[in-house]
């Protein structure tokens, strides 16, 4: 019996079945590589789901955490605050362009950031309603699930959900949903279901994560900004997966040239340590009463130290520019693969910076989803030593999230493995017969 199979057996008798996992039990990792308990090497193109933008165990991040651990690991910011939290808040205030003076609060998870952003928007507006979008993912808490626009596996069996949450269409050009159609859906929502004067916030991902790496067209985000201004609605940009240089800019919304009211961030913020933030206009952020925001572990000192180091690394190693180059290299390679005879099941290649995806179909004309071949690609890649993830409301999208610090030779090796995995999966999984 291998160490991995032994751990799988132990997991089944110790861990709740609803905690979905893969069969890779990590032993050690460095930058874009991970070794399991049996010594097998993997190239990690999941990066802990966009957490390790600065790679596994970046030396500057690890040193910052080690230095902080010698001082203190926890006081609770509400009891005995510390300079690192204040400094990080100052830096995030300067980094997020809202067109106004900013304030920041820190919590621990992305779902917490989302929930607090909604609380702040409701406190500021005095309104209850929130509009999210189809295909969105905003967390696994009750409010997070209510905002999420994907039923399985996130919402099934877990209702009822909080009231005054509404969903509008998200533009998806590959599936034939234009910006105009998405906006028409929003107009229909306001005409038939809820008065816009009842809405506290729009919450939207500039690049959808679980929804399939669908990129919000700039004109869509501009229109949302205009509608928010018209009706006094707070515009929340969920940058939890797209932020921290992942898309080639500090935040995904910057590609659209708009200014949000509030921004949620987590994942890549602290280089593998649990930390999230809400940053936004001071007028809005200060609407909540003292004691209404925070939490026991909110802004943990070790995580805060890591985040300050991550911001240093992003700047000193020019990771936004590097993300753009990674994206160009990977999408050029993917499009070359898709153009080859026999690779017609790659229906679409898309991405923004190093947030890259390709969508698998059974037929490029009908765009019928091919979840079976998608699962086969993920499994084949894992067998060959590459960790990748699937996503999408139709379960047919492969997402690629390499660390922004990945060595170029490792990137090329990963793309060779991916190409071979696509070929093998397409050969082994036949196209279903037409009905």
Q: Where does the pLDDT of residue 145 fall: very low under 50, low under 70, confident under 90, or very high at 90 and above?
A: very high
Confidence of residue 431 (pLDDT cuts 50, 70, 90): confident
- Helices 319-338, 408-428: axis angle to 10 degrees equals 30
Q: What is the pLDDT of residues 347-370, one digit of tens each?
A: 999 999 999 999 999 999 999 999
pLDDT band with cut points at 50, 70 and 90 for residue 434? low
Label residue 208 by pLDDT band (50, 70, 90): very high
pLDDT per residue over 270-322, tens digit each?
999 999 999 999 999 999 999 999 999 999 999 999 999 999 999 999 999 99
pLDDT digit string, tens, across residues 35-69: 999 999 999 999 999 999 999 999 999 999 999 99
Task: Match domain 3-58+318-428 to its CATH number in 3.30.559.10, 3.90.1150.10, 3.40.50.1970, 3.40.980.10.
Answer: 3.90.1150.10
Helical axes 301-316 vs 83-95, angle rounded to 10°? 40
Whole-number mean pLDDT of the chain?
97
Could you tell me where in the chain the CATH 3.40.640.10 domains are found? 62-316
Q: What is the pTM of this model?
A: 0.96
State the pLDDT at residue 430.
86
CATH 3.90.1150.10 residue window(s) in the chain: 3-58+318-428
For residue 310, give the H/E element and its range: helix 301-316
- Give the architecture (CATH level 2) of 62-316: 3-Layer(aba) Sandwich (3.40)
The 262-265 sheet, strands edge to edge: 102-107, 276-281, 262-265, 234-238, 199-204, 129-133, 165-168
Instruction: Give residue 435's pLDDT.
Output: 46
Rg value, the chain, Cα:
22
Segment 154-159 shows an average pLDDT of 91
Task: Quote the tokens at residue 3.
Answer: 């160490």
Answer whether residue 433 shows pLDDT above 80.
no
Could you tell me the two tokens for 405? Answer: 């610090």
């Amino acid at each position: 019996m291998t160490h991995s199979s032994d751990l799988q057996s132990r997991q089944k008798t110790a861990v709740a079945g609803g905690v979905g996992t893969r069969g890779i039990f990590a032993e050690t990792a460095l930058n874009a590589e991970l070794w399991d308990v049996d010594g097998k090497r993997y190239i990690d193109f999941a990066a802990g789901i966009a957490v390790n933008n600065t790679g596994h165990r970046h030396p500057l991040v690890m040193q910052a955490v080690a230095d902080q651990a010698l001082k203190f690991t926890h006081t609770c910011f509400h009891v005995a605050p510390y300079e690192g939290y204040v400094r990080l808040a100052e830096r995030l205030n300067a980094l997020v362009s809202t067109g106004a003076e900013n304030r920041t609060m820190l919590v621990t998870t992305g779902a917490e950031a989302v929930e607090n952003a909604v609380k702040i928007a409701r406190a500021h507006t005095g309104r209850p309603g929130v509009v999210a979008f189809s295909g969105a993912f905003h967390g696994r808490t009750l409010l997070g699930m209510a905002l999420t626009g994907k039923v399985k596996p996130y919402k099934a069996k877990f209702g009822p959900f909080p009231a005054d949450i509404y969903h509008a269409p998200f533009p998806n050009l590959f599936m034939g949903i234009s910006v105009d159609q998405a906006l028409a859906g929003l107009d229909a929502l306001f005409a038939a279901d809820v008065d816009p004067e009842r809405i506290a916030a729009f919450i939207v991902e500039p690049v959808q994560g679980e929804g399939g790496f669908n990129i919000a067209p700039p004109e869509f985000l501009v229109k949302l900004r205009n509608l928010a201004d018209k009706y006094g609605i707070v515009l929340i940009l969920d940058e939890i997966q797209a932020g921290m240089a992942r898309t080639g800019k500090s935040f995904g919304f910057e590609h659209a040239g708009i200014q949000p009211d509030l921004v949620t961030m987590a994942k890549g913020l602290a280089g593998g340590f649990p930390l999230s933030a809400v940053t936004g206009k001071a007028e809005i952020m200060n609407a909540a009463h003292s004691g209404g925001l925070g939490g026991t572990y909110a802004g943990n000192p070790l995580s805060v130290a890591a985040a300050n180091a991550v911001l240093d690394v992003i700047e000193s190693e020019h990771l936004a520019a590097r993300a753009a180059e990674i994206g160009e290299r990977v999408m050029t390679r993917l499009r070359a693969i898709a153009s080859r005879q026999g690779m017609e099941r790659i229906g679409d290649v898309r991405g923004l910076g190093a947030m890259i995806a390709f969508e698998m179909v059974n037929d490029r004309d009908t765009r019928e989803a091919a979840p079976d071949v998608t699962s086969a690609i993920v499994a084949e890649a894992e067998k060959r030593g590459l960790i990748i993830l699937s996503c999408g409301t139709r379960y047919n999208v492969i997402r690629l999230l390499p660390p922004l610090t990945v060595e170029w030779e490792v990137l090329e090796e990963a793309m060779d493995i991916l190409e071979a995995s696509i070929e093998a999966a397409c050969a082994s999984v036949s196209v279903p017969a037409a009905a």
